[in-house]
Structure 1
Amino acid sequence: MPEQLDRRARFPTDLDLSPYVRSCLRRLPKTSGLDVLDIPSGFGRHSLFLAAQDNQVVAADIDQHRLDQSLASWRTLMPRQGNLRPVLVDAEQSLPFSREAFDLVLVVHYVSDKIIEAVCPLIRAGGFLVYETFSAHGLNSRNLPIAGQTANRVSGFEVLDLRERPVRSAAGEVVTVKMLARKLATAKPPLRNAPQVS
């Protein structure tokens, strides 16, 4: 018997995406044929949408129920293109993905000192990072970064869009962050037989 879908899980349209993610996708040179990591993926609103756009998507989350719901939603659509692969991970631990495995990484509504450093090596040269913290409601503001902190963590990237909104909290001046960054091409190693310059 197929698993019953949770009322919070359904197949998303582009209107279900975070408005910031939607605006970032419009800026990418292409939005199909990509290897995508969505971490944490939750019920899969971004993962499912991107998989249906003919991408190979890894939906990574710590909650097995949410991953099961994403997969159940994917199976109800029975798409002819794209792929969704749920992976159970703790974003605070070492991630089980190869370096430079993804063209696009989404980190939406998640804040951690470790997550940016963990996902940047997973992005191929020319690939993109979309990062969006949660809004500052209640105690959420305690975990938000200070101004400039997030952009400083993406060395080797060109920050294409950075929006920081100051929030007053007990922890001092912190900001909500929305950021789109592109990984720069790595320098090519010198040719072995190239003449040496003295």
Structure 2
Amino acid sequence: MTHATLSTASSLITQFSWPELTGLKVLDLACGSGRNGLWFLSQGCEVTFIDQDLSALAELTHDKAHQWQWNLEDGSAPPLPQESFDIVLVFNYLHRPLFPQIAASLKSGGLIVYETFTWQQAQIGRPRNPDFLLTENELQSVFANWQPLHYFEGRLSDAAGTESAKAQLIARKP
């Protein structure tokens, strides 16, 4: 994975036809480098970055950026705020116990943007642990009562040509 891959927002975000974004509240959950949330910040959104390690965002100073250094898996983090966000981003992260909190954190009509590895990833690379891999159609099933705007499950290649098995979902909360 190249530095450009780490700092450029996902094509799932940059190629989607977004409505007016200015002023929307976005949660970048398990944000890592923050690349996707930073794209929304540049579009005029207020972005909350959550990760157990926010060192990649240490230089970020912006009045519309909030950083919450939380470990989402060890029970020490407070629950996600309910009905607080217009858009929730989750990329390359899977912790199934958070699904209900993620859904509850979105306002009615808000959008979930989720992309992570599927069970087929174990055949071509890491991660291999089934705890971190979606089963077939799992993401679609978790948000089955939501209005799907985009769904994909299969193999993707990044800018460097590295292949991965992923599921992508953009869906509107009822």
For normalisation by structure 2, the TM-score amounts to: 0.76
Matching residue within 38, 41, 55 for 1:48? 38
Q: Separation in 2 of the partners of 1:90 and 1:155? A: 28
Query: Within the alignment, does 1:183 sit opposite 2:173 as a pair?
Result: yes
Contact kept? 1:38, 1:106, Cα under 8 Å: yes
Match of 1:116 in 2: 99
Which residue of structure 1 aligns with residue 72 of structure 2?
A: 91
Could you tell me which of 17, 25, 30 is aligned with 1:27?
A: 17
Deviations 1:147-181 (A, max 9, x none): 12111112541122111127xxxxxxxx6211111
Consecutive unaligned residues in structure 1, runs of 5 or more: 1-7, 167-174, 185-198
Q: Report if the CA contact (8 A) 1:116-1:154 is conserved.
A: no
The DSSP-based 3-state class of the residue aligned with 2:127 is helix
Q: CA RMSD in A?
A: 2.5
Map Cα deviations across residues 22-75 of structure 1 (whole Å, 9 max, x no partner): 22xx32222221110001111211122212222111000011xxx243140x23
Shift of residue 146 of structure 1?
A: 1.6
2-structure distance, mates of 1:139, 1:55: 33
Deviates more, 1:124-133 or 1:82-91: 82-91
Gaps of 5+ in 2: 156-164
How many corresponding residue pairs?
A: 154
C-alpha separation in 2, matches of 1:160 and 1:48 = 22
- Specify the alignment match of 1:172 in structure 2: none
> In structure 2, how many angstroms separate the alpha carbons of the residues matched to 1:156 and 1:148?
14
* 1:59 and 2:49 correspond: yes
From 116, 122, 128, give the equivalent of 1:133. Answer: 116
Bigger Cα displacement from structure 2, 85-94 vs 106-115: 85-94
CA contact (8 A) 1:71 1:86 kept: no
Corresponding residue number in structure 1 for 2:159:
none
Cα distance in 2, alignment partners of residues 56 and 158 from structure 1: 24
Can you list the C-alpha shifts for 1:99-140, whole angstroms capped at 9, x where unaligned? 100000000111222233220110001110000004724241
Structure 2 CA distance for partners of 1:177 and 1:156, relative to 1, 3 Å: same
Find the counterpart in structure 2 of residue 151 from structure 1. 140
Aligned amino acid, residue 71 of structure 2: D
Instruction: Give the TM-score, by structure 1 length.
Output: 0.68
- Please tell me the residue identity of whatever aligns with 2:11: P
